[in-house]
Amino acid sequence: MRMCVSVLIHIYDESLPSEGQKLSTPLAAILALTEMMEQSNAGTMFELLTELKGAAEALSRQSLNPIGLKAGCELFIEFITLFPHDAASFSELKTELIRQGQHYAEQALAYRAKIAELAFDFIKDDSVILTHSYSRVVLQTLLLAHKRKRISGEISGSNATCEYFSSHVLCFSVFVTEARPRGMGIKTAEMLTAAGIPCTVVLDSAVAYAIDKVDFVLMGSEAVVESGGLVNAVGSNQIAIIAKAANKPFYALAESYKFHRMFPLSQYDLPSHNPGVLSFPQTMSARARPASSGLPSKASSVLFDNGSPIRMTQEDIARNNPDVDYTRPDLISLVFSDVGSLTPEGVSQYLVGMFAG
């Protein structure tokens, strides 16, 4: 078992989305689990399931942000549990399950295109879109829209009557948030600009300033949870709140393997939350307290005089800040997924179908 897990982690890391690769965390997890099944020598269904669950545990322990990963594992394990087995022998069943897992991972690669297709309808000419951080599905959607619009623009451009279009070959533009601390938004911006889509990076703190120019928000996701809410790179929640306040539609894009059976009640109910996040530095208060017993006003000045000026690096700040946050369902207009465009309420219908039927 021990050995299995180390192999597993290795496999997972390999299939993980390194730069440029197309596999997302839940799919990588599913692939890793199938790989593990192949190497496992479990003799019964029960043993296999225990092993899988252990492996899933181990995977999520070593991951900093286990939410997407957990969604994949959960889906696969639930599937295996419920798989109607009329296979003759257990090894045959196992082979079938492995085949299923691999098949799904392959199949699921096409989901983004499917989602892009759905979301494409919503991108009207001249629309201004706000997106956050880096999301492959958002990127794919935008690129698809750009490609199509350019073609249709050229067609109408060739038509003499449609001079308007010929001058507007580029039909939509994008605001991308910088997405501190990792600055993934810049990557999005680079890729969009390279494709010829007009694109501007906005500061995370400038979203409220920009929102009135925006037609709608397009957001990727780490996971879509049972409430219909969204777990995504930190900052998504505040964008959703701003969009709501400005009455702008907020669309989330999520492949169905990101549907996660989890019900966060608040930001601090997320599994990624730990006491270190947003903690106040101990040293400050500890140092300040003994001094403040005498003259509180003097104490602070002493602190400034004595110590070297306090420097805060981006890394320091990032260290006790969250990676992801949770967006309430009432802030989300629609969730585009490969199973269709869903209202947030519609998402939970699928989750219930899988896990609570």
Partner 1 sequence: MASDPQSAANQRIVEDLVSRLRRRQLVGSRATALETLLVLRQVVSKARFSNIDQLVNIIRSVGRRLVDAQPKEHSVGNTVRKVLHHIREEYHTANEQPAVESSFSIAKFVLQGQPRKQATIPSSETRVPLKENDPDDPDSFARVLKPVLMEAIQDVFDELETVYDNISKNAKDHIHSDEIILTLGMSKTVDFFLKAAAHYRNYTVIVAETAPFYGGREMAKSLSSAGISTFLVPDSSIYALMSRVNKVILGAHAILANGGMFATSGSLLAATAARSYSTPVVVCAGQFKLTPLWNLYHEYGALDFGDPSAVLGFDEGDLVDKVDVVNPYYDYVRPELLDVFITNYGDHPPSSIYRLLKETYDDEDNEL
Partner 2 sequence: MPVPEPESASAESQSLTKAQKKAEGRARQEQQRAAKAAQKQQQQSGQNAGPSSNKSKGSTVQKKPALESNKIPSAAASSSKDAPTTREGAVGADGLSDGPKSRGLRIFSHFGLPKTPGHQIKGDIHPAIVKLGLQFSEFKICGANARCIATLTAFKTVIQDYVTPPHNTLSRHLMTHLSPQITHLVTARPMSVTMGNAIRQLKLEISGSDIDLPEQDAKDALCQEIDNYIRDRIIIADEVIEDLAVKKIKDGDVVLTYARSSLVEKILLRAHSLNKRFSVMVIDSRPLLEGKTLLHSLTSVIPPIPCTYALLPALPSLITDADIVLLGAHSLHANGSVYSRAGTAMVAMLAKEHSVPVMLCCETYKFSETVMLDGFGKNELGLLSINYFFALLFADAVCNQTAPMKFSLGASNSNLEVLNPLYDSTPASCITAVVTEVGLIPPTSISSIPLALGRTTL
For the bound state, the minimum distance from the C-beta of residue 184 to partner 2, rounded and expressed in Å, comes to 29
- Residue 253 touches which of partner 2, partner 1, none (CB < 5 to 8 A by kind)? none
d(CA 3, CA 308): 49
Check binding of 215 to partner 1 (CB under 8 A). yes
Nearest approach in angstroms of CB 149 to partner 2 is 21
Token pair for residue 106? 């392959």
The reply to whether 241 sits near partner 2 by the rule CB under 8 A is no
- CA separation for the pair 315, 11 (Å, rounded): 29
Spatial distance between the Cα atoms of 283 and 310, rounded to a whole number of angstroms:
12
Q: At a CB cut-off of 8 Å and minimum separation 6, what does 235 contact?
A: 132, 133, 177, 179, 180, 204, 325
Q: Residue 156's Cα: distance from chain center in Å?
A: 37
303 binds partner 1 (CB under 8 A): no
For partner 1, the closer CB: 136 or 248: 248
Nearer to partner 2, 99 or 213 (CB): 213
Long-range CB contacts for residues 162-169, cutoff 8 Å, separation at least 24 = 168/125, 168/126
Binding-site partner at residue 246 among partner 2, partner 1, none, CB < 5 to 8 Å by type: partner 2
Among 20, 84, 276, 290, which residue interacts with partner 1 (rule: CB under 8 A)?
84
DSSP per-residue codes, 33-98: HHHHHHH----SHHHHHHHHHHHHHHHHHH-SS-HHHHHHHHHHHHHHHH-----SSHHHHHHHHH
The angle formed by the CA atoms of residues 215, 218 and 220, to the nearest 5 degrees, is 170
Binding mask 119-148 toward partner 1 (x if CB under 8 A, else -) reads --xx-x--x---------------------
The secondary structure of the chain in percent helix, strand, coil, rounded to multiples of 5, reads: 55, 10, 30
| Residue corresponding to tokens 């199949």 | 107
Binding span for partner 1 by CB under 8 A among 183-191, 200-208, 290-298, 337-345: 337-345
Give the number of residues written for the chain. Answer: 357
Closest CB 1 distance from partner 1, rounded Å: 25
Site string for partner 1, 224-263 (x = CB under 8 A): -------------------------x------xx-x----
Interface of this chain with partner 2, residues 242 to 261, rule: CB under 8 A: 246-247
| Nearest residue (CB) to partner 1, 85 versus 319 | 85
**Least Cβ distance, residue 173 to partner 2 (angstroms):** 17
Residues at the contact surface with partner 1, assessed by CB under 8 A: 75-76, 78-79, 82-84, 100-101, 103-104, 107-108, 121-122, 124, 127, 215-216, 249, 256-257, 259, 333-334, 339-343, 345-346, 349-350, 352-354, 357
